[in-house]
Amino acid sequence: MSGCRTAEQIPKPHNWGSHDVESFKAYRRRWPANLDHVPNVVIETWIYRHWREFQAWLPLNPLAWVYRLSDFDCDEIMSIGHVGDWTGTLRCWGDDLLDGHHRRTTWLGRFMLEQGTFPAPIIVAENAGEYFHPREGDHLHMFEPHQIVEGHMRLAYLQALVRRQYPSLKQSHSVIVATLPLRHRSHWTAAGRKVHEN
């Protein structure tokens, strides 16, 4: 089944974007049975919670990716990156958690300072540098070895805890690692034209 036809099967959360959005439990009941290979945490934290942002990834057919739950040590957490000037943004968010006040008062900030890890796994793409990042223009290849896909704020906070060796820091962290199909890769030719491999 093509990525386009598969994408059409994905249900949009009822009342998405409002205060009356349907519960994830109700949404999960509507999830197509032929897409049950997608891990529950991916459905909830990415597709359900970030529906609009998820749409930008559809050209890369994320429902065809292979997902696995992995445990990353702190060095591996620091190997996760982003394209463009996002590195500075993530570092700024993390430093602000530790040096500022507001972020410490949020639910996420409090949880990560107390627990020293994520409340839910982030999603990263592994060794996907031959792909262009779908949300950052058509000229930026994804970061290797690990490109953040979902969980930017959580990553920013945890990398700050690692850099500062925060007392509550755990040594193992749950991460969903995605492997993208080779048939969807693209590259630049010598003439500067983008080519998609089939």
pLDDT value of position 9: 86
pLDDT value of position 197: 47
pLDDT value of position 138: 65
pLDDT value of position 177: 98
pLDDT value of position 74: 98
User: Three-class SS of residue 126?
Assistant: strand
For residues 132 and 177, is the Cβ–Cβ distance under 8 A?
Answer: no
pLDDT value of position 132: 92
For residues 175 and 70, is the Cβ–Cβ distance under 8 A?
Answer: yes
First-to-last alpha carbon distance for the chain, in angstroms, is 14
Helix (H) or strand (E) holding 17: none
DSSP conformational letter for 12: P
For residues 60 and 134, is the Cβ–Cβ distance under 8 A?
Answer: yes
Closest to 125 (Cα-Cα) out of 141, 145, 147: 147
pTM of this structure: 0.88
Which residues of the chain carry a pLDDT beneath 70?
Answer: 1-6, 138, 183-198
Can you give the C-alpha Rg of the chain in angstroms?
18
Axis-axis angle for helices 86-99, 107-115 (nearest 10):
80
CA distance 47 to 13: 9
Torsion of CA 95, 99, 46, 137, to 10 degrees: -40
Amino acid at the residue 183? R
Token look-up 């492997």 returns: 179
